[in-house]
Amino acid sequence: MTIVGVEPLLGATRVSRRRHYLMCPPTFFDVSYRINPWMHPDGNVSPLRAMQQWRTLRKAFVEAGHLVDVIEPVPGLPDMVFAANGGLVIDGRAVAARFRFQERAAESAVYERWFADAGLTSLGPTSAINEGEGDLLVLGDLVLAGTGFRTHLEAHAEISALLGRPVMSLDLIDDRYYHLDTALAVLADDEVAYFPEAFSLRSQALLRDLFPTAVLATASDAAAFGLNAVSDGRNVFLPAGATGLERQLVERGFEPHPIDVSELLKAGGGVKCCTLEIRE
């Protein structure tokens, strides 16, 4: 990776790369428990509206030329729609999640079976808590790994050993941004956007050193879950409402695609949460 010393890529010409995603329809979506600050089990949830928003997101991926597989949802697992948390797949090798909360624990085996049935090399879950691409974001040869609320630091070393990739640990300190993918978005193999205040001072310094020209999100854009985004190198799919972030992306030569995921946000999930990348 060549990152340090890169000039800001204002108006750069971007090239998309076809991706392979796994998604899970929100057939059984609900907010029936509270495991993050965004969740309020007050009965004010519409599975129908969630399904409409999910279908819009899936259609946007397909229309952009990406392959989207769908895993069958399971009754009693309302958060299974957030496929990104199901694991991490690199070079056809899949590590399944080991969830922190019992409410989501059964999802791990479901995703692990899908990995095996899809012909991937399934490595099982880590022994320490890891919540998949919620906390493990890939760019180039590097894995950025969040810790502090969900994924344990010990899992970072396991991931590095299992997948043969360097892992850089980042400390999350604001419980509203409990997963790394709520506070940082991978835009390209050497570019990210992030919300500095979500990270410890140590982690902020690491990010500044590694990504000196990163897009810095405002508090309002972070609160709109704008960093819970999916990029193919040119198209950036992100929750609607992060208008300042959208403007910055356009300035950098990206094409933002705001998607209404307001119903899914009631469970603390957005565009990236719904999307697990299958790297074969």
Residue 113 sits at φ, ψ, to 5 deg, of -65, -40
Q: Is 258 strand, coil or helix?
A: strand
Question: Residue type at 52?
Answer: Q
24 a catalytic residue = no
Nearest to 64 by CA among 188, 236, 190, 193: 236
Q: Using alpha carbons, list the distances in angstroms from residue 269 to 80, 87, 112, 224.
A: 11, 16, 21, 11
What b/e string do you get for 185-217 counting C-beta neighbours within 10 Å, with b at 16 or more?
Answer: bbbbebbbbbbbebbeeebbebbeebbebbbeb
156 is catalytic: no
Q: CA-to-CA distance for 162 and 178, rounded, in angstroms? A: 24
**Which residue type sits at 157?**
A
Helix, strand, or coil here: 122?
strand
Of the residues 152, 179, 257, 274, which is catalytic? 179
Q: CB burial class (10 A; 0-12, 13-18, 19+) of residue 135?
A: buried
Q: Would you please indicate which residues are annotated as catalytic (active-site) residues?
A: 179, 273
